[in-house]
Structure 1
Amino acid sequence: PDLEMESVPFPEEVSERSVCVVGSELVENYTVYIIEVTDGDHRWTLKHRYSDFHDLHEKLAAEKKVDRRLLPPKKMLGKNSKSLVERRQKELELYLQTLLLQFPQATPTPLATFLHFHLYEINGITAALAEELFHKGEQLLQAGEVFSLCPLQLYAVSQQLRQAKPTCCNGDARTDLGHILDFTCRLRYLKVMSGTRGPVGTSNIQENSLLFDLSVFKSLLQIEISECNAQQIQGLSSLRSSLATLSIHNSTETMMSILVPEASEFSQWEAEGAEFGSPVTAVIPVWRNLTTLDMSHNRISTIDRSVKLIPKVEFLDLSHNQLSTVENLQHLYNLVHVDLSYNSLQVLEAAHTRMGNIKTLSLAGNQLDQLTGLTKLYSLVNLDLSHNQLAPVRNIGSLPCLEKLNLSSNPVCIIPDYRTKVLAQFGDRAAEVCLDGKATTEKELDTVEVLKAIQKAKEVKDRMSSNDKKVSSVTPNPSAGGRVRAATCPSQGNHVCIRLCRARGRRGSGF
């Protein structure tokens, strides 16, 4: 992990920092000053009235011995006049700039809070997080709850770990970075989610462009990442040995970029433990404990060979993507539940060769118009085919374990007696099948019995008709000497009778 962190292209620390009072506005009967703070490439604005400056100054004078004369005095007469406001604006700007120069390394907490460092500046963000975990970290770990962090917070932690600075910049032990590191080493459930698609708050910070490193999390069992960019996620591969559940949403166009981020570095790679004939440039470790992979709501168009690295996955959710084919799932021998709903699938050929012994399959919201590829998924218990283009539904009864079937919002649903015609395909199992979320009724079962009887009668009639055709095809030709063949016996198929007929034929012929 240490080598990996060194290779991450994080930008160098930029110490340039400035503050300007760029304007003012009148709110009710007092003036609010608009302040712009710049910290390297990041910039944000905030608003304060004069009384806020006064409160700040009182704290700094008491805690940091700041000269009380530094803050311009309060004016009562004409306090909202344009000339006074403009002069006050320049004086307050000079006051803030002087404070930043006075505390170049460790910004006092009252000043950091006043300038919203806890929302937008690296040291301020980590200090605020450290103090939160100082008070609640142990309780959160004991409760086993999911802990949420945004990319900006993770970026700040990753950046501060690379700075040649003390882990506690402002002298307050509660804000020491060690509280964060202790927490991240022991945390089991993490959620990473960008709060917004645009800039953060009043800043120019775009969260989906901030790199962050997950290798500080040593014990994660479950992680969910949403509204991020696959390229900004660093250190995910360090979780391969611990993670059981991985969820990624609205963050990637390929499975490869998440499961094998190293793939871009090696021209030819193979999964650990796999057999390979041709030379490879890298052997990639598998995700040893991953049993659940949820990559729904992305822009994935292909199930690529990166699935070779997740051999233990039982639950796979690729819904709400852009899949048009299903491939490579034959590498997942432990698959039980598969969700491919709301993709662009038009046909599934020989699905049993790709999915094996799965029990649950959702294909809702695709463009399927036939079931030919599904009829050998013999272990299926739950099948969702709603919102497709299915008109006739044939051979669905060949699935011996199926208990829940959803065909709603398909053209087939408008056929008269649609439910009983579908249920009848299951024969004696019709009562066990829940169709479209509704249990089979007694009335439907009665109708199914009638349909079964009609079908059986039709099959008998078809067999008799077939037999008649066979009989007529071997009727003796009168000009052939009148010899009778065994096939003309009305008890055709009875071997004893056939032998008798042959014996009679011999006697009649004089043998």
Structure 2
Amino acid sequence: MVHLTVDLIAKSRKHFKKKRGLSFPEYLKTLTHLHFSNKNIEDIGDLSMCTNLTVLYLYDNNITYIGNLSFASNLMHLYMQNNSITHIDNLHNLQNLSKLYLGGNRIAVVEGLEQLHQLKELHVENQRLTPGEKLLFDPRTLDSLAESLCVLNINNNNIDDIRDLAVLKELQHFSAADNKLCSIEELEDVFSHWPQLFLMDLSGNPVCKKPKYRDRLITVCTSLEALDGREINDLTREFLINWKASREAKKKKNNKHDVWITAASFTYGMFLQHILK
């Protein structure tokens, strides 16, 4: 079993070269970036001497539990994708965390992020879930991220409903490819709450096969610059927005005409009843 500890850092040739001229405890205090990806690490030990750590790379390991990071109040980026983590735990002290990478784990519920008010990017794609299971979101976590989260990646997680995500009004980049989204009306409603969205990927969802799918979403997301990897030019956007406005105006006019016809028919019917008495 491999533990990530200061002893493992001391044995690292990369770090050994850098610590010349400093005592090892002094060197640990200067560390800002720690690279231990793909090292068969199974858990995180005591790294509390690394008080200035800002970036931690632990992807492609065998970690099952997030622990012993409460010391890392300066941590800004945490890379823990492709491990075997089942729960998002023990991150409440990471007040400066802005990017969190947890893709390729075994997480069933996005939770435990209520204290991370600086979080701007959350990557939870490709969770290894049991058959029939889908990734869920704790409403408390979503509410706490509403004012900060700009990038969300939830690709390939069997998701069929994103209405709970509407609260994330600061989103600029949303990726939900290869899920099970099928209601274009639901998407239109959610995206109407995201005025700053400029990049979106929904490729591989059933909704992509719906008539006018691309046109309808472009008219709702007026800031969108690319959809499913295809750029949206200003001319196309302007044409579609004008087309939608014209169609809605015509529909409104027809509704008023129908109301007038109905009222006139009613009045004429009452008149006939009066003269026939």
Q: TM-score, normalised by structure 1?
A: 0.42
> Retained in 2: the 8 A contact 1:185–1:219?
no
1:221 CA drift (Å) = 0.3
- Percent identical: 20
Q: What does the per-residue CA deviation read over 1:332-359, in whole Å, with 9 as the maximum and x for residues that have no partner? A: 0111111111125444464640423211
Letter in 2 for 1:310: L
Structure 1 residues 204-353: aligned runs within 5 Å: 217-226=28-37, 227-231=39-43, 234-239=45-50, 241-249=51-59, 250-256=61-67, 258-259=68-69, 286-304=71-89, 306-343=90-127, 344=129, 345-348=134-137, 350=139, 352-353=142-143
By percentage of residues, which structure has more helix?
Answer: 1
For 1:437 and 1:465, locate their aligned partners in 2 and report how far apart those are by CA, in whole Å: 43
The reply to whether residue 394 of structure 1 matches residue 188 of structure 2 is: yes
1:457 CA drift (Å) = 2.9
SS at the partner of 1:237? Answer: coil
Letter in 1 for 2:83: N
> Retained in 2: the 8 A contact 1:349–1:373?
no
Structure 1 residues 64-463: aligned runs within 5 Å: 182-183=19-20, 185=22, 217-226=28-37, 227-231=39-43, 234-239=45-50, 241-249=51-59, 250-256=61-67, 258-259=68-69, 286-304=71-89, 306-343=90-127, 344=129, 345-348=134-137, 350=139, 352-356=142-146, 357-392=148-183, 393-395=187-189, 396-426=191-221, 429=222, 432-441=224-233, 442-443=235-236, 445-459=238-252, 461-462=254-255
For 2:226 and 2:8, locate their aligned partners in 1 and report how far apart those are by CA, in whole Å: 50
> Retained in 1: the 8 A contact 2:160–2:182?
yes
Q: What does the per-residue CA deviation read over 1:180-220, in whole Å, with 9 as the maximum and x for residues that have no partner? A: 69439489xxxxxxxxxxxxxxxxxxxxxxxxxx9973311
For 1:453 and 1:181, locate their aligned partners in 2 and report how far apart those are by CA, in whole Å: 66
For 1:155 and 1:321, locate their aligned partners in 2 and report how far apart those are by CA, in whole Å: 24
Residues 453 and 181 from structure 1, CA distance in 2 versus in 1: closer, same or farther, beyond 3 angstroms? closer
Q: Which runs of 5+ in 2 are unaligned?
A: none
Which structure is richer in relative contact order (CA contacts within 8 A, separation 6 or more)?
2
> Retained in 2: the 8 A contact 1:185–1:217?
no
> Retained in 2: the 8 A contact 1:423–1:433?
no
Q: What does the per-residue CA deviation read over 1:403-458, in whole Å, with 9 as the maximum and x for residues that have no partner? A: 111111111112233211211223xx26x432122221434642443233223433
Residues 308 and 446 from structure 1, CA distance in 2 versus in 1: closer, same or farther, beyond 3 angstroms? same
Q: Which runs of 5+ in 1 are unaligned?
A: 1-150, 159-178, 188-213, 261-285, 483-511
SS at the partner of 2:114? Answer: helix
Residues 444 and 182 from structure 1, CA distance in 2 versus in 1: closer, same or farther, beyond 3 angstroms? closer
Residues 468 and 259 from structure 1, CA distance in 2 versus in 1: closer, same or farther, beyond 3 angstroms? farther
Residues 347 and 466 from structure 1, CA distance in 2 versus in 1: closer, same or farther, beyond 3 angstroms? farther
For 1:340 and 1:323, locate their aligned partners in 2 and report how far apart those are by CA, in whole Å: 8
> Retained in 1: the 8 A contact 2:225–2:232?
yes
Backbone CA RMSD of aligned residues: 3.5
Corresponding pairs, count: 245
SS at the partner of 1:405? Answer: strand
